[in-house]
Structure 1
Amino acid sequence: MEISMQVWVIAGLLLLCIVFLTSVSARLYQTAGPHEALIVYGFRGTHIVKGGGAIVFPLIEKCRQLSLELMSFDVAPQQDLYTNQGVAVTVEAVAQIKVKSDPESIQTAAEQFLTKTDQERESLIRLVMEGHLRGIIGQLTVEQIVKEPEMLADRMRSTCADDMNKMGLEVVSFTIKEVRDKNEYITNMGRPDVARIKRDADVATVEAERDTAIKRAIAQREAAIAKAQADQERVLAETLSLTKQAEAQRDLEIKKATYQEGVKRQQAQADKAYEIQTNIMQQQVVAEAVKVQQVEREHQVKVQEAEIFRREKELIATVLKQAEIERQRIETLASAEKQRLIAEADGKAASIRVQGEAEAEIIFKKGEAEAKAMNVKGEAYQEYNQAAIIDKLLTSMPEVARALAAPLANVDKITIVSTGNG
């Protein structure tokens, strides 16, 4: 049991020693960031730690941080700077300086600025740069300073490089902010250029206006030419269109005239054919009527002859006297001749009347046929055949018979005269 207690005590003491040593080491260990350098000096000499750390033993060693960050400050000498022309100018610039990153430069910068504040360090560097700026300005003209600021900055960097190296520094950039003078030299210096630029601008403006006017005139001329050509083409197109319209109208009128001529010719032919057909039909009707009249007259003659024969037989049967018979026969023949002549005259009158009625009917039919189309006329011509003519005659037959029988109605008696010849 006692042995176990001793072991635990020893372990605790060892742990306390480790914790103590760790705490002491942490206090003794100093670090430096990437933007600074740790300068350790003392019992072991001087050594530089950048971006790392080192143990600094108290009492026998010390350490300080040296900033490696970029320093930016104005370089503006309070006194006037004189150019090689003797013109006093005031120059304001901005300088950016930093400690170089190599150990030798850090060592040199530590020797120069380790115990100084930032203001003291910038003041020392500014004095050096103002001196160099004064010397460079004295070698240049005002025109060079104003017109070539980059050249001035390059000369400052190259001139200050040696002195900066001796302090472990480097000039990152040097920029001229402003150059001015009290005698308005710089202002007057620009006036000729301003006048020249203004003159050139005026000349350029006039030339541009001239070129614009020329181009405008050319464009207007081309536009006028194009318009004239367009108008000419339009007039030609309109003329051509009117010509084509006139030709089309002419062709249409010619076609209309040709068509009308054909229609009139066909109409005339149809009318002529209709007239011819009508005349033929009229002639046929008259001829048939005459035939009917002739047949009727022959029939009447036969009837009269039969009647005479019958009366003669009757007279013979009644034993008339020969003289009386002869007288009656002569009278009968005379009367028959008279009736024949009267019937012939009546037949002619009836023929004339029938012809007039046929002509009236023909005129009526003609007027009715003219109101119909040409194809109806053609069909009418084909359908109006011999059967229609016969039907017309049969329809007119009662009128003809009445006309022929009218003279017989006036006969009171018929005397048959026989000559004795049987």
Structure 2
Amino acid sequence: MGDLNQVAVENFRQYLQIPSVHPNVNYDGCVAFLENQARGLGLPISTFYFVPKKPVVIITWKGNEPHLPSIMLNGHMDVVPAYEDEWTHDPFGAEMDDKGNIYARGAQDMKCVSIQYLETIRRMRKDNVTLKRTIHISFVPDEEIGGFEGMKPFVESKEFRKLNVGFILDEGSPSSDNVLPLYYGERTRWAILIHCPGQPGHGSLLLDNTAGEKVKKILDKFYEFRDHEKKRIEEDPNITDSDVTSVNLTIMKGGVQNNIIPPEFTLSIDCRIAITVDLEQFEATLNKWCKEAGEGVWIEYQQKDSQVPPTKLDESNPYWIAFKKAASNINLQLKPQIMGGMTDSRYVRALDIPALGFSPMSYTTRLAHAHNEYLNKDVFLRGIEIYRQLLTAVASVEDKGK
């Protein structure tokens, strides 16, 4: 086991050292690394380009009953930028300190999980384990910028359909204790621009119908709503950030000089809409706020996702039943919840394919997208053993027709 652990940690660190970082990601290093991994595992690998320079890599472990719907283990190759002067370690050095903490961008989000998938399969193949269902390990681009040129065209392709996917595991998040989040759905994202036109003029005048007045009125509406959602969380311990709708002002543009009242301000608002919200009613509310803010205020949608039903966590989903039982057998505590942000799982759930987001990182401070992101070596290695139990269970689910 010692040799296998050493191989796993070394592969993890090598993958982290590939700077697949936005913007303008070069994925060539990831593809070469994965080709080498596939050779070492003795497994076939395929690389598809649905968008130029945006590879989707699939490594396949064929099951005993390959006609059954397969299991997909999904991970993204890209990582968000890291600002080196804010880090105590090289963000692409994958340096390990004397506590076993491995520092690198992507250590938590989510290169760890992708390597854990591969190392789990390495150990199972070494032990001559065979599984009922075929497993596809997918490595996709551009998740960190929405997956619009990554997972989205992939799941819409004939290549994806040929994989006959019945269930997908994707990324989760760390937990500060031993209760790990299990994500079965996501909020809906709307990225909106609110245009507030108004009467321009000299900054010394008290003009009517100015853009600034309209900005105040519309922001009052949004922040009153925001305070209401925050209050719901404060008053009910069973409600989390993911159970409410968040709205945040992220960018404000307008004006050219201090003594000129501008003809327009534009507000960028990030909306993450709870799964319990009726989207038509929410849009009607936004339009009402614009009308009340003043003449000519209007909304431009930069992103307007449809609501995707969450994965069912009941007897109708045999993969969930198998996953839950396997977790219980190894005393793994799960907390099913809605994901506050967005992952590639939404594209899969939109096809009515069950998907769960899970990352085995207990007793770990959440540092995804933060400075000094790291994962402890022992937590990483324990995750491989956890995945072995979970993958064995979901890949052994009986055919519904039997």
TM-score (norm 2): 0.18
- More helix per residue: 1 or 2? 1
Larger radius of gyration between Structure 1 and Structure 2: 1
Answer 1 or 2: higher relative contact order, Cα 8 Å, separation at least 6: 2
- More strand per residue: 1 or 2? 2
